[in-house]
Structure 1
Amino acid sequence: MDRRSFLKNASFAGTAAAASALAAPAVAQGKMTWRMVTTWPKNFPGLGVGAQRLADRITAASDGQLTVQVFAAGEMVPPLQALDAVIDGSAEMSHGAAYYWQNKSVALSFFTGVPFGMTSRELTAWVRFMGGQEIWDEIYDQFGVQGFLSGDTGTQAGGWFKNELTSLDDIQGMRFRTPGLGGQVWQKMGVSVTNMAAGEIFQALQNNTLDAAEFVGPYNDLALGFYQVCKHYYTSSFNEPGLATEVVVDKAKYQALPSNLQAIVRDAAQAEYDNVASDMYANDPRALATLVNDHGVITHNQFPDDILQAAANAAKEVLTEVRDNGDALVQKTMKSYLGALDILRTRTEGTDQSFVMAREKYFDMS
C-alpha cells in the first residue's frame, strides 16, 4: 500500500465521525450500539483491520443485538487516550495495547510485551490457563474496565535505523521511538526514548526529531513508509518478543449484557487474537520481501552481541526495579508472569526451538 494513499484514507471522514460520536450509544427495541475507539489509523494492516473485524464479528454473531461502531485513531479521541475514553464513559470499548497505559499501572506491560519475556504462545498460555487473566482483571477493576486479548503480532521487528549499528557506542544519545518496559531498557543503554502514535512516527523520522523507530513489523511498517527515511531494518526484537493487543470494555456495561452477548464479546476477542496472528504471520514475510526487493532495505536479523548483552542486563535491572518499587498487585503480576515463564520456556526452548534448528539445518525442498 502506498504511504500517501494509506494516510489519506486514515484521515478521511474524521469530522463526520467525531460528530456522530457525540451521540449516546443507541438502544432501540432491545438492540444496542457500542462505540470502540482505537489507537490505530483507519484500515491499518493487521491491527486496525483486526479491530474492525472484531467489531464485525460481534455485530454478526449477535445478529445485530450488539452493534459495534469503530472509530480510528483521532476520529473521536487522540490515539493514546483510547482507554481514558472508556474509563470516563465516552466510549464502551477501546482497542490498543496494554503497555500504552503503564502510567496507570506498570503491571499492564506484562499483558503486552516484556523484554526477553514471553513469546506469543507463552503469553496466551499464561493468560488463558495459568492465572494471567484473573490478575489482569484485578488490575483493570481499579478503573472499572475489563480487558481481553484481541490480537497478536508475534515477535516484532527491532526497528528502523538510518545507519547500521556496529556496537553499543552507536546508540548513545540516539532518539528512538519505542514504548513500554522495552523503552526503559533502551533508555538504560543510553538512548533517548519517546513514545508516539503510529501516524506520527514517519514525520518525526523525516524531520530528524527521531533518529530511529520501531513499531510492529514489516506488514505495518511498509504501510507507514519508514523505508523512505531509514534503510537499516533489524528484524528481531528483544523487547517485544510476542506482543499482544487488547480490547477493553466498560465492565459495568459488559456485566449488564445478557450472558449470550457477554460470551460473544469474549469469544470474538479470542478468535480475533488468533486471526490477527495468522494475518501477521502470512503477510510479514511478503512485506519484508517487498521492502528488500522493491525499496532497497538492508536487513539485519539481530543486533550486535554487545547491544544484546547490555539489553539483557538492563532488562534485569528494569524488572528488578518494577518488582521492588511496585505495589502489591504489580508484584503479584510479576511473580505470576515469571513463574509461568520458567515453566513455559522449557517447552519453547526444549521442543520448539530444537525442531526449528533441525529443520533449518537438514530440510530444504526449494
Structure 2
Amino acid sequence: MKRRDLLKGGAVAAVAAGASTLTAPAIAQQRIEITIVSTWPRDFPGLGTGAQRFAQRLSDMSDGRFEISYFAAGERVGAFDSFDEVASGNAQIYHAADYYWKGKHPAWAYFTSVPFGLTYTEINAWIRFGGGQALWDELAADSDLKNLMCGNTGVQMGGWFRKEMNSADDFKGLKMRIPGLGGDVLSKLGASPVSLPGGQIYENLISGAIDATEWVGPWNDAAMKFYEAAKYYYYPGMHEPGAMLAAGINKDFWEGLSTADKAIIEAAASMENDVMMAEYNAKNGASLTKLINEQGVQLRKFSDDIYDSFGQAAAEVFAETVEHSDLARRVHDSFVQARAEVGGWTKISDQEYLRQRNRVLGV
C-alpha cells in the first residue's frame, strides 16, 4: 500500500471515529420524554383507542425520539385531574374533552361543544379559519397550556332514559349525567345534571344513582351496555353536535420544542382529528341496528316542543355565560358568527344535497 493511501485511510478512520463519538450523545440529547394522561378508560372504543393511537403516532412520526408514556384515566391521576397534571408540568399532554374544565372558565365549553353548536365540519372551519384557535390559545395560556384539535365524535345522541320523554316537564327532577353547558340547559328545565367520567356512568345508571345519561353514540354506547338499565334511546342530541376532543400541551414544554417537533405534534393531532371522526361515522350505523334488533332498544326522537324548550333554555344559559368575562363574550360572539356563516353555507350545500339524495333514494 502506498504511503499516500495509508495516510488517506487513516484520516477517514479518524473522521469516522470522531463522528461516532459525537453522534451517540447528539441522538441522546434529541430524545424527548412525554407523559400523556387522558380522561378515557384504556382501550375504550373511539375515545380511548383514539388517544392511544395519537400517542403511538407521536412515537412513530418521531422515529422513536419521542419516548411516550401513556396513562388512561385513573392509572396516574383521575380523569378530571388531567388538566391540573399537565398545567402544572407533571405531565406534558392530556387528551380530553375541554368542556370538562368549564368550572375553571365557561369558555372552555366552546372548544368541545355547546348546545345548538357547531358540527364537525363547522368547528374545524371555526378553529382553523374563523379565529377559534387564537381564542383557544388565549384561554389556554392563562393555565400554561397550548391546545390542539385531536378527535371528534360527530353529532351525538340525546341520551338513554328509563322512561319516555314526551314533554319538557318530564325533565323535572331527572338526575342525568350530562356535562358542559348542555347540563346547564337541562338544569333550566328542572333536571339535576351530573358530571361523571365515562368509566363511572354504567355503575351509576345500574344502581339508580342517575336516571338517565348521554354519552356519545351507538358504537360507544353499545360498548357501555347502557341498554341493560335504560331502553329508551333519544335523538338528536342538542348538547354536542360535534364534540371536538383536545390535546392539551403544557405551554412551557411546547415553547421549548423545536419548530420541527411542534410540527410533528400538530400533524399527529390533526390526523387523529380526521381518523377518529371517520371511525365513528363508519361504525355508528351498524351499532345502532344491533342495539335495536338484538338488545330491544326503543329509538325515539325528541319532539319539536321539547327541542323548542331546549332552545329557550340554551338562550338563557348563553346570556349568563357571556356575563362571566370579556373573553367569554368574545368566544361566544366568534362562535355565533361561525355558526351563521359556515352554517349558512352548509344549509344550502350539505343539508340540501342530503335532503334531495334521501328523497330520491327513498331513505
Q: TM-score, normalised by structure 2?
A: 0.91
Q: 1:155 touches 1:241 (CA, 8 Å); kept in 2?
A: yes
Q: Give the distance between the partners of 1:348 and 1:183, measured in 2 at CA.
A: 27
Tell me whether 1:208 sits opposite 2:208 in the alignment: yes
Matches within 5 A, 1:100-179: 100-179=100-179
Matches within 5 A, 1:31-50: 31-50=31-50
2:11 matched to which residue of 1?
A: none
Q: 1:161 touches 1:233 (CA, 8 Å); kept in 2?
A: yes
Q: Deviations over 1:273-298 (max 9, x none)?
A: 01000011111111111211111111
Q: Give the distance between the partners of 1:281 and 1:234, measured in 2 at CA.
A: 18
Residue identity in the other structure for 2:93 = M
Q: 2:149 touches 2:245 (CA, 8 Å); kept in 1?
A: yes
Q: 1:66 touches 1:261 (CA, 8 Å); kept in 2?
A: no
RMSD: 1.3
2:236 matched to which residue of 1?
A: 236
Tell me whether 1:312 sits opposite 2:311 in the alignment: yes
Q: Give the distance between the partners of 1:81 and 1:294, measured in 2 at CA.
A: 37
Q: Give the distance between the partners of 1:294 and 1:91, measured in 2 at CA.
A: 43
Q: 2:218 touches 2:285 (CA, 8 Å); kept in 1?
A: yes
Instruction: Return 5+ residue gaps in structure 1 as ranges.
Output: 1-26
Report the CA distance between 1:33 and its aligned residue. 1.9
Percent sequence identity over matched residues? 38
2:266 matched to which residue of 1?
A: 266
Residue identity in the other structure for 1:247 = A
Q: 1:55 touches 1:67 (CA, 8 Å); kept in 2?
A: no
2:349 matched to which residue of 1?
A: 351
Q: Give the distance between the partners of 1:190 and 1:351, measured in 2 at CA.
A: 38
Tell me whether 1:217 sits opposite 2:232 in the alignment: no
2:320 matched to which residue of 1?
A: 321
Tell me whether 1:76 sits opposite 2:76 in the alignment: yes
Q: 1:205 touches 1:212 (CA, 8 Å); kept in 2?
A: yes
Other structure's SS at 1:136 match = helix
Q: Give the distance between the partners of 1:44 and 1:66, measured in 2 at CA.
A: 24
Report the CA distance between 1:28 and its aligned residue. 4.4
Q: Give the distance between the partners of 1:288 and 1:115, measured in 2 at CA.
A: 23
Of 330, 334, 337, the match for 2:328: 330
Other structure's SS at 1:154 match = coil
Q: Give the distance between the partners of 2:235 and 2:217, measured in 1 at CA.
A: 7
Point out the structure with max Rg over C-alpha. 2
Q: Give the distance between the partners of 2:29 and 2:352, measured in 1 at CA.
A: 57
Q: Give the distance between the partners of 2:122 and 2:324, measured in 1 at CA.
A: 24
Q: 1:87 touches 1:250 (CA, 8 Å); kept in 2?
A: yes
Matches within 5 A, 1:9-20: none
- Runs of 4 or more off by more than 6 Å in structure 1? none
Q: 2:205 touches 2:212 (CA, 8 Å); kept in 1?
A: yes
Q: TM-score, normalised by structure 1?
A: 0.90
Residue identity in the other structure for 1:277 = M
Q: Give the distance between the partners of 2:179 and 2:289, measured in 1 at CA.
A: 26
Residue identity in the other structure for 1:358 = Q
Residue identity in the other structure for 1:152 = N
Instruction: Return 5+ residue gaps in structure 2 as ranges.
Output: 1-26
Q: Deviations over 1:39-98 (max 9, x none)?
A: 000001011111111111111111111122210000000001111110122211100001
Residue identity in the other structure for 1:308 = Y
1:363 matched to which residue of 2?
A: 361
Q: Give the distance between the partners of 2:171 and 2:338, measured in 1 at CA.
A: 33
Other structure's SS at 1:360 match = helix
Q: Deviations over 1:322-342 (max 9, x none)?
A: 11x221111111111111111
Other structure's SS at 2:33 match = strand
1:17 matched to which residue of 2?
A: none
Report the CA distance between 1:29 and its aligned residue. 4.0
Q: 2:116 touches 2:241 (CA, 8 Å); kept in 1?
A: yes
Q: Give the distance between the partners of 2:265 and 2:191, measured in 1 at CA.
A: 40
Q: Deviations over 1:96-149 (max 9, x none)?
A: 001000111111111111111111111110001111001100000001110101
Q: Number of residue pairs matched?
A: 337
Tell me whether 1:95 sits opposite 2:95 in the alignment: yes
Residue identity in the other structure for 1:329 = L
Residue identity in the other structure for 1:318 = V
Matches within 5 A, 1:285-296: 285-296=285-296
Residue identity in the other structure for 1:44 = F
Q: Give the distance between the partners of 1:133 and 1:83, measured in 2 at CA.
A: 19
Residue identity in the other structure for 2:244 = A
Residue identity in the other structure for 2:231 = K
Report the CA distance between 1:360 and its aligned residue. 1.3
Q: More displaced, 207-216 or 284-293?
A: 284-293
Q: 1:34 touches 1:69 (CA, 8 Å); kept in 2?
A: yes
Q: Give the distance between the partners of 2:93 and 2:255, measured in 1 at CA.
A: 13
Q: Deviations over 1:192-216 (max 9, x none)?
A: 1110011111111111110000011
Residue identity in the other structure for 2:75 = E
Q: Give the distance between the partners of 1:113 and 1:77, measured in 2 at CA.
A: 24
